[in-house]
Amino acid sequence: MTFTPNGKHLIAGNWLAGDETFGSEPAHGPSHAYAIGRLSDVDAAAQAAEEAFWSYGYSSRQSRAQFLNAIADEIEARADAITEIGTQETGLPEARLQGERGRTTGQLRLFASHILEGDYLDRRHDVALPDRQPLPRPDLKMVQRPIGPVAVFGASNFPLAFSTAGGDTAAALAAGCPVVVKGHSAHPGTGEIIAEAVHAAIQKCGIHPGVFSLIQGGNRQVGSALVQHPLIKAVGFTGSLAGGRALFDLCAARPEPIPFFGELGSVNPMFILDGALDARGEAIAQGWAASLSMGAGQFCTNPGIAIVRAGAAAEAFAETANAALAETAAQTMLTDGIASAYRDGQKRIAGVEGVQALLTTVCDQREATPYLYRTTAKNWLANEALAEEVFGPLGILVVAENDEDMRNIALSLQGQLTCTLHLDNADTAAAQNLMPILERKAGRILANGFPTGVEVSDTMVHGGPYPASTNFGATSVGTLSIRRFLRPVCYQNLPDALVPEQA
């Protein structure tokens, strides 16, 4: 199946052209023209979503599950075409796109099963106690209800799993919330073909077409207008700290502030404790190099920092990591802008006093190769710039002198998506010393692993204290993410005919 983009927005079931277009910038293959979003498109999509909410927000869990499964079916029906245009636009290898497509359809089917089970509703019932003294108790029922239309921003680094029909969209639709997607200009054709799949599922299931709209990129004002539209009730975002914070501030400044669920990335530090370093430091170093360079380092869980204790084992660790990274071939980055930011980040790190370059390479246009730097704990603690994320395959090895250095590094961390402990049995006491700190710093704590790779499950937390995310009580991956788009409603003494069926 070959896919030729029409270059239009999908708004309430209609493919609409724009007044102006922008050209895609694929890593390889043909460029296509896409409509630039307009403020009128935002209003039309939000109005249609609000209209759809009056039916979709009160639909049965069974019908929504059927819809989610239908979207997954339609995506799979376009599998080859999705892979073809996705690889062209992003430069990602076919295997990565195929795996990400499986994750995307898996998320949709997981949410379908999740809402059918009904546990997410958190139903509670306090029966009436009319004879209670000194005051009677009314009959009270509580259930989680959908909040209304949700805006979702496509992510640059995951054209499928975190974009048009990715985790945010799946969670919102499962909750009963219509979705307006702001497509990412890095992969507009991939966004369009996924929107086509969602549109086909809408028609198959007989759902109000306003339940889903896609507005293509090319105009930053569209994103600002979307989060400020009075009919939008929450926002899901995966992207840069600067872009996310700007949108977060707009959400907070609205006459009616709304929640902004931004996943903004982190440096994901790894603490390699003495026993593990002595016993298997070289294996850990090789694993770090592989995780650090995976996907050209373009993962929000990229482990950019490794902390080790000074000594012969630390020197061997550095040599092994350096050798492994030196053998890593150049990889195509997602966009020219991301590659430029990677180069800028590398220059920033290299320019910090007290930082030693272990591996320097050349990042040519969109082709990225790894960098490895080394510094002391003292220098790390004195330079906040070293704790800022560099989006790409760049690692910093921080050498600590003692347990106090390790603890102070942990205390200095900003909010993280992940923190990792590499430890053996002999390291238990040292790990116990760090755990209370790491719990306050990260949404996910790993032992003897690498954070690249986020399981989509009931227990996963993909979020963390700011700046890893803008809401430390939420996750953007896993079934718990549905709670972002629900709110509790209590029904007091209402007749059964007025209480939602789910309650």
Handedness of CA 162, 164, 165, 167 (dihedral sign): positive
> Average pLDDT, stretch 428-432?
97
Q: pTM score, two decimals?
A: 0.96
> Average pLDDT, stretch 3-16?
96
Flag whether pLDDT at 362 surpasses 80. no
Flag whether pLDDT at 503 surpasses 90. no
Q: Tell me the per-residue pLDDT of 106-145, one tens digit each, with 9 for 90 and over.
A: 999 999 999 999 999 999 999 999 999 999 999 999 999 9
Type of residue numbered 190: T
pLDDT for position 361: 75
Residue pair 111/68 in contact (Cβ under 8 Å)? The answer is: yes
pLDDT for position 468: 96
Q: Tell me the per-residue pLDDT of 222-232, one tens digit each, with 9 for 90 and over.
A: 999 999 999 99
**Distance from C-alpha of 95 to C-alpha of 316, rounded to nearest angstrom:** 33
Report all structural domains of the chain as residue ranges with CATH numbers, in order of start: 10-19+32-130+137-264+469-498 (3.40.605.10), 269-447 (3.40.309.10)
pLDDT band at 376, cuts 50/70/90? very high
Question: In the annotation, is 300 catalytic?
Answer: yes
Strand runs labelled E in 90-178: 124-126, 140-146, 150-153
pLDDT band at 419, cuts 50/70/90? very high
**Distance from C-alpha of 422 to C-alpha of 425, rounded to nearest angstrom:** 11
Which of 177, 251, 300, 363 is catalytic? The answer is 300
Which of 74, 192, 196, 263 is catalytic? The answer is 263
Q: What secondary structure does DSSP assign to 28-94, as a single string?
A: SS---EEEPP-HHHHHHHHHHHHHHHHHHTTS-HHHHHHHHHHHHHHHHHTHHHHHHHHHHHH---H
Q: What percentage of residues in the chain have a pLDDT greater than 90?
A: 95
Q: What is the mean pLDDT of the chain?
A: 95
Residue pair 303/450 in contact (Cβ under 8 Å)? The answer is: yes
pLDDT for position 71: 98
pLDDT for position 502: 60
pLDDT for position 363: 62
Q: Tell me the per-residue pLDDT of 261-278, one tens digit each, with 9 for 90 and over.
A: 999 989 999 999 999 999
pLDDT for position 1: 64
pLDDT for position 500: 87
Query: Which residue's structure tokens are 């996910």?
Result: 444
DSSP label at residue 259: -
> Average pLDDT, stretch 443-458?
96
pLDDT band at 219, cuts 50/70/90? confident
26-30, 44-48, 135-139: least confidently modelled range: 26-30
Rg (CA), the chain: 24
pLDDT for position 265: 85
